[in-house]
Amino acid sequence: MQNSLKRMWALVGVIAAVAAVAATSAGASHKAGPTIVIWTDQDRAAAVTKVANDWAGSSGATIKVVTKNFGDIRDNLGTVAAADAPDVITAAHDWTGQLAANGLVEPIFLSSATKANFPAYTLNAFSYGTAVKKLYGVPAAVENIGLVVNTKLAKVPTTFAQLEKEALAVKKAKHQTFGIAVQQGTGGDAYHMYPFFSGLGGYIFGTNKAGNLDPSDIGVASPTLIKNAGLIDKWNKEGLISSKVDGSAAQNAFLKQQTAFWVTGPWNADTLKKSGLSFKVVQVPAIVKPSVPFLGVQGFMVTKFATAHGVDSAAKDLVTNYMAQASAQTQLAAANGRPPANTKAKSSDPVLQQFSNASKGGVPMPNIPQMNSVWSDLGQAWVRSTKGSGSMAAAKSFKAAARSIASKIG
């Protein structure tokens, strides 16, 4: 009898153990996967949602996409409550220094095989560190401005002298007040003016022996630029460039064929294709140096909040292992209207390819926090020296800008 009772209780124990395992397994199978919150802008929202959900379908995660104005993503990240914060953001590379220095984004790691699919400058653009550089973002798209030429009004210029001559001829024929439609306005626009700045020998920051940007080496009034600043005074006098032209005026003048040359970027690719005009996009011809554009790299970053939310591993898997893939970037490029960063991704748009070709030798916008002290003063240096009557001599204007920038950086 005693042995029978022992066998009975042993059997009950086995049954209970099996039931417990089964219950645990059932609970695990119904346990919700991580929820990844992504902040992006309206232009990218649909594509980001689709691509992220493709990843979520195989990972068991849930994707929540929050749409914001692009610039607000960076600004809001520093003030948002943890409960409402994103785990992943769509970002511009030049936010990297500020966000990394403030501890708002986490370093990420890419395999050597994955890195090989990206131009080195796109990875450098998302890298930051005063001693040791770390990667903080996966590049997804690249953009830059180019010179759009109305090929029925002018020949595609191969030299700056040719560009100047033809622009002024169209200006005269069309009774226009400027030759090249490049936007500035009262607030200035150092980004759109950068090809002229680089072509004259200007630069923003030099680099130190470690290869990092050196904010103490400011090239806004470099000796080469000052030596050639008389050309800016000449352009101002003849009306080749006018700071009175804002973005709307530049676009309208080109679309209405009142000027043959427009400095703009791939965000206007659809506008150009719908215009019915015959056009070609090239790089601004060299002045005394190559007139290279600023390069903007956009991508994805993992925020510090991913760790607080317990989804750090999943968020990094999404960004580093999925968003970096050529297939994902092909989809993003098609929706975003920007050439993909991954060289194995495909963009079949010939206009985007022309803009991409115009990026040769371009300079990534500095991603260190000190760049915030440059934009306004550099833009105003151009405004003061190209506003027509009453303009300041360019050499004086750019020297004043350099002093102001240096004082702000300290």
pLDDT of 14 over the 50 cut:
no
Tell me the per-residue pLDDT of 72-108, one tens digit each, with 9 for 90 and over. 999 999 999 999 999 999 999 999 999 999 999 999 9
CB within 8 A of 356, min separation 6: which ones?
A: 142, 144, 339, 347
Q: How many Å apart are CA 61 and CA 318, to the nearest integer?
A: 10
- The predicted pLDDT at position 32 comes to 65
Predicted confidence band at 115 (pLDDT cuts at 50, 70, 90)?
very high
Mean pLDDT of the chain: 92
- The yes-or-no verdict on residue 25 having pLDDT over 70 is no
Say what the pTM is: 0.84
Rounded CA gap, 238 and 78, in Å? 46
Q: How far is CA 332 from the centre of its chain?
A: 14
- Residue entry with tokens 């680089």: 198
pLDDT at 118 over 80: yes
Confirm if 325 and 342 have CB atoms less than 8 A apart: yes
**If you average pLDDT over residues 347-358, what whole number do you get?**
91
Instruction: Determine contact, residues 278/152, Cβ cutoff 8 Å.
Output: yes
Contact 304, 105 (CB under 8 A): yes
Per-residue model confidence as pLDDT tens digits over 283-309: 999 999 999 999 999 999 999 999 999
- Return the C-alpha torsion angle 325, 327, 332, 335, nearest 10: 180
Confidence label for 211 from pLDDT (cuts 50, 70 and 90): confident
Give the model's confidence band at 3: pLDDT under 50 very low, under 70 low, under 90 confident, else very high: very low
% of the chain exceeding 90 in pLDDT: 85
CA distance 149 to 300: 33
pLDDT (tens digit, 9 = 90+) per residue, 380-390? 999 999 999 99
Three-class SS of the chain: CHHHHHHHHHHHHHHHHHHHHHHHHHHHHHCCCCEEEEEECHHHHHHHHHHHHHHHHHHCCEEEEEECCHHHHHHHHCCCCHHHCCCEEEEEHHHHHHHHHCCCECCCCCCHHHHCCCCHHHHHHCEECCCCCEECCEEEEEECCEEEEECCCCCCCCCHHHHHHHHHHHHHHCCCCCCCECCCCCCCCCCCCHHHHHHCCCCCEEECCCCCEEEEEECCCCHHHHHHHHHHHHHHHHCCCCCCCCHHHHHHHHHCCCCCEEEECHHHHHHHHHHCCCEEEECCCCCCCCCCCEEEEEEEEEECHHHHCCCHHHHHHHHHHHCCCHHHHHHHHHHHCCCECCCCCCCCCHHHHHHHHCCCCCEECCCCHHHHHCHHHHHHHHHHHCCCCCCCCHHHHHHHHHHHHHHHHC
Q: How confident is the model at residue 352 (pLDDT cuts 50, 70, 90)?
A: very high
Between 96-110, 213-227, 327-341, 352-366, the lowest mean confidence (pLDDT) is in: 327-341
